[in-house]
Amino acid sequence: MQGTRVNFPLCLAPMVGLSHVALRLIIREYMPPGAFTLWPTEMLNSRKLPYEDFAKVPETMKGPCETELVPQILGNEAGAIAASIRKLEDWGAVAIDINMGCPVQKALRHNYGVALMGDSTYAAEVVAMATKVARVPVSVKLRAAERGTNPDFLFQFVRGLQEAGAAWVCLHPRTAEQKRRGNADWSQIRQLRDTVDIPVIGNGDIQTAEDVHQMRAQTGCELVMAGRALAARPWLMWQVGEDLGWPSPRDLEVLLRERLRKKGLPMAEFFFV
Residues involved in catalysis: 102
What single-letter amino acid sits at 128?
A
